[in-house]
């Protein structure tokens, strides 16, 4: 109760001294929407699985909740959700990324979790992405700073706070960030079980993993207004029309950074008198850092399209010699799925889920080899190599859970699935093992 009073006081004080135009039409729409809204918070230390809650209408039989049901509200804690309201998908994705960065930088000590909000009967039509913010205990300053950050985004966000209310239960308060102190709506909230099909998984398709060239290109088309290089990548697709593949085997080598892909692909090239190609191909790889700094919607669309551009060259070369490919679609899907799914391995989509399928319209290799080495050896190799690591690889080094998830997704990919080779032994032994697998699986 005390938490709620203090919390409302701080927010109202803040909004009273802010001025600006109100946007009552949008907020009125949102407040009615809230009555049927589901929220899913990605797993973290509070909950190893996603945390689901929904708003509901009060009634005589309405169940009420206590902070015991909401671990993040224990000890009078307050928490917040910020959703980016639905709009142009590329613009929304960029706003989401920049808001996430600002929240992490400017609210040190707060837990910033990814959140999605949706209506169960219309997931894709209603899905909004955002963050669930748990400031440190007794940190009034965090609320002020949160409001400061949100000022810049006020036309595009919906801010709610959560606390115990005057009436029993946990309440969600919808705030108008844009003008006088105004609590626009309030609603009791109820923690609920997750649906059978995870909305986090459903939201991946078409927003982080693209199962057709058309889907990935549509994102790059929309991005062209903000990123001139997106247009250049699309022009490259036009120049690379898919060709019939030849009779020689196409072999993809996959694995985490420093598992020995480059070393093995170079040796295979020599031993099999093969062509060595990589994805993304040279024609677009110089724009990689530009797309790496974009939100996953755009970054993953770039890598997806890169596979299709690469496929044209792969198909052409397979007419005359075996082709070895250093990373292909499995990398694109594995890193995207592992990044988008919070929590541990148990939270990944189940085996045989259709997120692990190969895109129908993408050239299918004859064999995919996955190189694995233990963490200690992989990190020893990264240090020995001494080259600059990508930001993502630095995170991989720091985040063992993410690394395990990427590798697990590789292992779950289907049709073609990966043949796993333990790449810990000497380079010569790894090469011999790879040659033996290739001999068995391909016509060489
Ligand atoms: N089987 C192996 N045993 C020991 N070191 C290896 C082996 N394979 C590769 N390396 C070394 O590990 C480092 C990373 O290998 P690299 O082929 O560049 O990996 P990737 O292409 O997967 O990032 C390099 O310094 C390489 O010489
Ligand atoms: N075909 C590909 C190749 C790489 N990627 C992405 C997946 C990861 O985000 C990075 C990994 O590439 P990185 O440059 O770190 O790794 P290598 O140097 O190729 O070992 O690129 C992809 O999505 N699709």
More confident of the two residues 162 and 10: 162
- 271 CA distance to ligand 2 middle (Å): 25
What local confidence, expressed as pLDDT, does residue 435 receive?
98
What is the total residue count of the chain?
444
What local confidence, expressed as pLDDT, does residue 26 receive?
35
Reported confidence tier of residue 27, pLDDT bands at 50, 70, 90 = very low
CA distances from 114 to 51, 158, 166, 410 (A): 11, 15, 28, 24
CA distances from 115 to 51, 121, 249 (A): 9, 18, 44
Which pairing describes strands 250-255 and 323-326: parallel, antiparallel, or unpaired?
parallel
Other CB atoms within 10 A of residue 363 CB? 21
Nearest bound ligand to the CA of residue 421: 1
Q: Is 233 helix (H, G, I), strand (E, B) or coil?
A: helix
pLDDT tens digits for 253-272?
Answer: 999 999 999 999 999 999 99
- 328 CA distance to ligand 2 middle (Å): 9
- Which ligand 2 atom sits nearest the alpha carbon of residue 326? 19
Residue 204, pLDDT above cutoff 80 = yes
| Share of residues in the chain with pLDDT > 90 (%) | 59
Residue 95, pLDDT above cutoff 60 = yes
What local confidence, expressed as pLDDT, does residue 17 receive?
38
pLDDT tens digits for 272-295?
Answer: 999 999 999 999 999 999 999 999
pLDDT, mean of residues 300-320: 97
- As a whole number of angstroms, the distance between CA 268 and CA 255 comes to 16
- 339 CA distance to ligand 2 middle (Å): 13
- As a whole number of angstroms, the distance between CA 136 and CA 111 comes to 8
- 106 CA distance to ligand 2 middle (Å): 30
- Which ligand 1 atom sits nearest the alpha carbon of residue 371? 22
Among 124-133, 142-151, 310-319, whose mean pLDDT is lowest?
142-151
What local confidence, expressed as pLDDT, does residue 239 receive?
80
Q: Please, are residues 132 and 99 in contact by the beta-carbon 8 Å criterion?
A: no
Q: Is 253 helix (H, G, I), strand (E, B) or coil?
A: strand
Residue 128, pLDDT above cutoff 70 = yes
Other CB atoms within 10 A of residue 391 CB? 11
Q: Is 137 helix (H, G, I), strand (E, B) or coil?
A: coil
Nearest CA to ligand 2 atom 24: 332
Residue 392, pLDDT above cutoff 60 = no
- 431 CA distance to ligand 1 middle (Å): 12
What local confidence, expressed as pLDDT, does residue 133 receive?
95
Nearest bound ligand to the CA of residue 329: 2
Residue 221, pLDDT above cutoff 60 = yes
Q: Tell me if 303 CB under 6 Å of ligand 2.
A: yes
- Which ligand 1 atom sits nearest the alpha carbon of residue 265? 17
Contacts of 63 (CB under 8 A, 6+ apart): 190
Residues with C-beta less than 6 Å from any ligand 1 atom: 255, 257-263, 381, 384-385, 423, 426-427, 430
Contacts of 353 (CB under 8 A, 6+ apart): 201, 412
What local confidence, expressed as pLDDT, does residue 25 receive?
32
- Which ligand 2 atom sits nearest the alpha carbon of residue 278? 1
State the average pLDDT for the chain.
Answer: 86
Nearest bound ligand to the CA of residue 266: 1
- Which ligand 2 atom sits nearest the alpha carbon of residue 279? 1
| Share of residues in the chain with pLDDT > 70 (%) | 85
- As a whole number of angstroms, the distance between CA 325 and CA 390 comes to 20
Reported confidence tier of residue 300, pLDDT bands at 50, 70, 90 = very high
pLDDT tens digits for 339-366?
Answer: 999 888 988 999 999 999 999 999 999 9
Among 146-150, 181-185, 307-311, 384-388, whose mean pLDDT is lowest?
384-388
Q: Tell me if 307 CB under 6 Å of ligand 2.
A: yes
Q: Tell me if 393 CB under 6 Å of ligand 2.
A: yes
Q: Which of 266, 303, 326, 340 to mutate to test the pocket of ligand 2 (most atoms within 8 A of CB)?
A: 303
Nearest CA to ligand 1 atom 20: 258
- Which ligand 2 atom sits nearest the alpha carbon of residue 261? 20
Contacts of 34 (CB under 8 A, 6+ apart): 55, 160, 172, 174, 185, 187
- Which ligand 2 atom sits nearest the alpha carbon of residue 332? 23
Reported confidence tier of residue 139, pLDDT bands at 50, 70, 90 = low
Nearest CA to ligand 1 atom 23: 258
pLDDT tens digits for 146-181?
Answer: 888 998 898 899 999 998 877 888 999 998 876 554
- 322 CA distance to ligand 1 middle (Å): 23
Question: Residue 230's closest CA among 94, 429, 381?
Answer: 94
More confident of the two residues 81 and 386: 81
ipTM for the whole complex: 0.97
What local confidence, expressed as pLDDT, does residue 7 receive?
58
- 331 CA distance to ligand 2 middle (Å): 6
Q: Please, are residues 188 and 55 in contact by the beta-carbon 8 Å criterion?
A: yes
Residue 192, pLDDT above cutoff 60 = yes
Nearest CA to ligand 1 atom 1: 427
What local confidence, expressed as pLDDT, does residue 47 receive?
67
What local confidence, expressed as pLDDT, does residue 109 receive?
87
More confident of the two residues 380 and 46: 380
Nearest bound ligand to the CA of residue 432: 1
Residue 6, pLDDT above cutoff 70 = no
What local confidence, expressed as pLDDT, does residue 146 receive?
85
| Concatenated DSSP letters of 265-327 | HHHHHHHHT-EEEESS-HHHHTTHHHHHTS-HHHHHHHHHHHHHHHHHHHHHHTTTS-EEEES
What local confidence, expressed as pLDDT, does residue 91 receive?
95
More confident of the two residues 184 and 32: 184
Other CB atoms within 10 A of residue 295 CB? 20
């Amino acid at each position: 109760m005390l938490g709620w009073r203090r919390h409302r006081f701080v927010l109202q004080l803040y909004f009273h001294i802010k001025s600006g135009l109100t946007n009552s039409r949008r907020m009125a729409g949102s407040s009615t929407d809230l009555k049927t809204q589901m929220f899913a918070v990605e797993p973290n230390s509070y909950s190893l699985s996603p945390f689901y809650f929904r708003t509901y209408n009060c009634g005589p039989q309405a169940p009420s909740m206590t902070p015991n049901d909401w671990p993040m509200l224990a000890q009078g804690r307050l928490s917040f959700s910020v959703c980016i309201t639905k709009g142009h998908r590329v613009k929304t994705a960029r706003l989401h990324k920049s808001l996430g960065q600002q929240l992490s930088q400017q609210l040190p000590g707060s837990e910033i979790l990814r959140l999605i909000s949706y209506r169960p009967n219309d997931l894709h039509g209603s899905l909004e992405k955002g963050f669930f913010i748990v400031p440190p205990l007794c940190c009034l300053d965090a609320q002020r700073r949160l409001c400061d950050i949100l000022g810049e985004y006020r036309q595009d966000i919906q801010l709610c706070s959560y606390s115990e209310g005057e009436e029993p239960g946990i309440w969600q308060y919808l705030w108008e960030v844009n003008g006088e102190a105004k609590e626009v709506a309030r609603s009791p909230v109820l923690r609920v079980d997750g649906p059978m099909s995870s909305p986090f998984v459903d939201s991946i398709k078409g927003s982080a993993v693209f199962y057709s060239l058309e889907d990935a290109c549509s994102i790059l088309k929309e991005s062209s207004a903000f990123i001139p290089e997106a247009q250049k990548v699309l022009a490259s697709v036009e120049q690379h029309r898919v060709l019939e593949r030849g009779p020689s085997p196409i072999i993809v080598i996959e694995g985490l950074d420093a598992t020995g892909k480059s070393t093995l692909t170079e040796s295979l090239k020599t031993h099999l008198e093969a062509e060595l190609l990589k994805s993304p191909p040279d024609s677009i790889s110089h724009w990689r850092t530009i797309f790496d700094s974009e939100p996953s919607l755009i970054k993953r669309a770039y890598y997806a399209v890169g596979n299709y551009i690469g496929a044209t060259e792969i198909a052409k070369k397979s007419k005359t010699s075996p082709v070895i490919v250093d990373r292909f679609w499995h990398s694109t899907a594995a890193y995207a799925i592992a990044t988008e799914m919070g929590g541990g391995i148990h939270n990944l989509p189940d085996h045989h889920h259709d997120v692990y399928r190969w895109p129908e319209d993408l050239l299918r290799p004859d064999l995919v080899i996955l190189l694995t080495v233990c963490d200690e050896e992989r990190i020893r190799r990264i240090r020995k190599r001494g080259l600059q690591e990508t930001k993502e690889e630095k995170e991989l080094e720091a985040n063992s859970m993410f690394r395990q998830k990427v590798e697990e997704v590789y292992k779950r990919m289907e049709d073609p699935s990966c043949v796993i080779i333990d790449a810990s032994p000497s380079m010569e032994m790894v090469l011999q093992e790879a040659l033996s697998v290739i001999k068995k699986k391909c016509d060489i």
